[in-house]
């Protein structure tokens, strides 16, 4: 996947405005006051003035429910807000539904949400049942261990069959790690949420947690002094925005909105406000896959 580092957005205003015009669709194509094609998902959402978003509630930096206010904060939430704004929907009118990895396809298929923005890796298996806009970020799978454990240096350290690892059901890291295990029935514990894996690691019932580096970085930062990353990323996890299968116009619209955000500064601002707090590097801007 070709990726280019964000360069200063200064001077890109004209480009940003052009891109925003494409994404928003400024002409009234219906003649009845909505700026979107008649019968499109965009028109329906614009008229309903509501966007239903599936996201994570327990992943610091990407989607985390604040214990005091109940508000969900994170990069995925900010990406959802960028899409809401481009649809003309106030961000206060977004309704969030918790979508752990196990139910992301289901909530789209059952029309319980309009989009899923939930550290959701684009892959061919998932594309059989949902579609993806994006990617808007490319993560990579790695391992997290207790801070004083030097015995695990990467997935190969699991090959002797002695270590136990925790991950989440229906996640790509859970599927990938199996290749490094002698006996996954004994070595792999699967839960619905990463928070559960954190508890398992704290209680020494497992030796490692595996998922995307950015999720682990958030967990490390919010459990200070307890955990560390072990080794480097060993997969590519391009994060997409899940939409109902076959809604190509909506997918194109979201892709346009994402591309506009890459140029107008709102993407970088969203990152710095959230996951960027745990990561000194600006994200690499992915190339949108308009399949």
Binding residues with ligand GLU: total (CB under 6 A): 13
246-250 long-range contacts (CB < 8 A, ≥24 apart) are 246/131, 247/41, 247/131, 248/131, 249/37, 249/40, 249/41, 249/42, 250/40, 250/41, 250/42
The minimum distance between CB 125 and ligand GLU, in angstroms, equals 11
The minimum distance between CB 59 and ligand GLU, in angstroms, equals 7
Tell me if 101 contacts ligand GLU by CB under 6 A. yes
Contacts of 12 (CB under 8 A, 6+ apart): 263, 264
The minimum distance between CB 234 and ligand GLU, in angstroms, equals 13
Alpha-carbon distance 175 to 204, whole Å?
23
Alpha-carbon distance 195 to 192, whole Å?
9
C-beta closer to ligand GLU: residue 59 or 266: 59
**Out of 171, 213, 255, 261, which residue is the one contacting ligand GLU (CB under 6 A)?**
171
Alpha-carbon distance 56 to 64, whole Å?
7
Question: In the range 200-219, which residues lie near ligand GLU by CB under 6 A?
Answer: 211-212, 215
**Out of 23, 40, 55, 172, which residue is the one contacting ligand GLU (CB under 6 A)?**
172
Tokens 């000194």 belong to 280
The answer to whether the beta carbons of residues 1 and 138 sit under 8 Å apart is: yes
C-beta closer to ligand GLU: residue 41 or 172: 172
Q: Which residue is nearest to ligand GLU (CB)?
A: 171
Q: Is 200 helix (H, G, I), strand (E, B) or coil?
A: helix
Tell me if 142 contacts ligand GLU by CB under 6 A. no
Q: Is 130 helix (H, G, I), strand (E, B) or coil?
A: strand
The minimum distance between CB 91 and ligand GLU, in angstroms, equals 23
The minimum distance between CB 215 and ligand GLU, in angstroms, equals 6
The minimum distance between CB 157 and ligand GLU, in angstroms, equals 20
C-beta closer to ligand GLU: residue 172 or 266: 172
Residue 290 to residues 5, 14, 131, 263, 287: CA-CA distances in angstroms? Answer: 20, 23, 11, 18, 9
Question: In the range 21-80, which residues lie near ligand GLU by CB under 6 A?
Answer: none
What is the dihedral sign for C-alpha 228, 285, 276, 209? Answer: negative
Tell me if 119 contacts ligand GLU by CB under 6 A. yes
The minimum distance between CB 46 and ligand GLU, in angstroms, equals 29
**Out of 72, 168, 188, 219, which residue is the one contacting ligand GLU (CB under 6 A)?**
168
Alpha-carbon distance 117 to 98, whole Å?
10
What is the separation, in whole angstroms, between the first and last Cα of the chain?
A: 13
Question: In the range 231-290, which residues lie near ligand GLU by CB under 6 A?
Answer: 237
Which residues sit at the interface with ligand GLU, rule CB under 6 A? 101, 118-121, 168, 171-173, 211-212, 215, 237
């Amino acid at each position: 996947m070709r990726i280019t580092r964000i360069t200063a957005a200064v001077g890109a205003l004209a480009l940003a405005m052009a891109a925003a015009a494409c994404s928003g669709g400024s002409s009234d194509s219906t003649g009845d006051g909505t700026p979107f094609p008649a019968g499109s998902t965009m028109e329906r959402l614009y008229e309903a003035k509501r966007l239903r978003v599936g996201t994570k509630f327990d992943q610091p930096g990407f989607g985390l429910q604040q214990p005091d206010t109940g508000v969900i904060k994170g990069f995925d939430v900010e990406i959802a807000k960028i899409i809401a704004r481009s649809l003309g929907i106030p961000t206060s009118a977004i309704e969030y539904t918790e979508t752990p990895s196990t139910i992301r396809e289901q909530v789209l298929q059952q029309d319980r949400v309009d989009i899923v923005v939930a550290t959701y890796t684009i892959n061919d298996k998932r594309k059989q049942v949902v579609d993806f806009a994006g990617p808007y970020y490319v993560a990579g799978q790695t391992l997290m261990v207790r801070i004083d454990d030097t015995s695990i240096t990467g997935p190969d350290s699991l090959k002797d069959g002695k270590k136990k690892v925790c991950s989440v059901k229906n996640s790509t890291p859970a599927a990938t790690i199996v290749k490094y295990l002698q006996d996954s029935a004994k070595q792999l514990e699967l839960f619905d949420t990463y928070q559960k894996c954190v508890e398992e690691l704290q209680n020494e019932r497992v030796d490692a947690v595996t998922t995307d580096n950015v999720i682990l970085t958030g967990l490390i930062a919010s459990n200070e002094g307890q955990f560390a990353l072990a080794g480097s990323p060993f997969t590519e996890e391009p994060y997409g925005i899940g939409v109902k299968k076959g809604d190509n116009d909506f997918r194109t619209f979201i892709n346009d909105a994402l591309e506009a955000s890459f140029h107008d500064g709102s993407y970088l601002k969203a990152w710095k406000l959230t996951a960027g707090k745990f990561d000194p590097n600006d994200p690499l801007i992915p190339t949108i896959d308009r399949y």
